[in-house]
A = this chain, B = another copy of it.
Amino acid sequence: MKNEVKDRLKEGRPIANGWLHIPSGWTAEVMATAKWDALTVDLQHGMIGFDTALQMLQAISTSNLVPMARVGWNRPEQIMKLLDAGAMGIICPMVNSREECESFVQACKYPPSGIRSMGPTRAKLLHGDEYLEKANEQVLTLAMIETTEAVRNLKEILNVDGLDGIFVGTGDLKQSIKAENPNGNIQKLLDSALNMIVEQTQKKQRIPGIWSPSLEVAKVMMNKGYQLISFMSDSMILTQYSRQLVADLKSSFEEKQ
């Protein structure tokens, strides 16, 4: 049992992490053929409950991609259940302080490192009997930095034992900056926050990750040093390209007439 993505991230290499919002094992399998390195089932903004998340995690395992999950909130029961269902990494939203980060990391780790409850029903089936022994070191723990409060507390958050990295929620961070600086140059403030975050994270030998609304932005982020690179979602890809294709067809309809 080896989390290949974690290894590569530790070596400083970038990772393409697909983002799943469609509640379907079928589209998860489609995405799993697209040569991402990892896929994240998003239970926060994805249209996905646990019953469907399980099918999606199974579908990801038809490939050798690393299955991950974003939980809806920093709740031990959600974190533990997705780990039991086989997720090899957890992205936790709205981690704004060292305490919240500790609580998140503890939910991911068996004692003595944390308070995770034993019962890795699918994880053990999938990853083998050594799962119990290796889970603490192999599971990726990523805290989301998406408020100005989190940015202010970043150093303390990065100090939490067992935290592997951070994951920036660009949309929320921008909103949060705007709320604090109603008259500021938001894009500039955001950019300098993004730079500062990646720098501090690298300094602490943690992994910097980020979600971006488009491939273009994702590339910019990779060039800033972000390693765990996500952009759009299965839903957004389908939405954008189906609209584009229909518009194109419709314009030929008009030309013809």
Contact = CB atoms under 8 A, between A and B. Distances in A.
A126 B62 contact: yes
A130 to B, nearest CB: 14
B58 A29 contact: yes
A252 interface: yes
Given A13-B257, A18-B242, A58-B59, A122 B252 contact: no
Q: Among A110, A125, A178, which residue has the most Cβ atoms of chain B within 10 A?
A: A125
A23 B257 CA distance: 35
A184 interface: no
Interface in A77-108: 77-78, 80-81, 84-85, 93-94
Interface string A138-171: 0000000010000000000000000000000101
Given A49-B50, A58-B59, A229 B241 contact: no
A67 to B, nearest CB: 11
A134 B34 CA distance: 22
Contacts of A180: 112
Copy count, this protein chain: 6
Nearest to A223: B256
B14 A253 contact: yes
A131 interface: no
| SS of A interface (majority) | helix
A110 B24 contact: no
A218 interface: yes
Contact of A47 (B110, B122, B257): B122
Interface stretch (A187-195, A196-204, A243-251): A243-251
Interface string A45-85: 11111111011001101100000000011011110110011
A171 B118 CA distance: 6
Contacts of A223: 256
Given A51-B49, A58-B62, A76 B77 contact: no
Nearest to A96: B115
A1 interface: no
A253 to B, nearest CB: 5
B239 A175 contact: no
Q: Which 4 A-B pairs have the closest CB atoms?
A: A45-B119, A49-B50, A112-B179, A73-B77
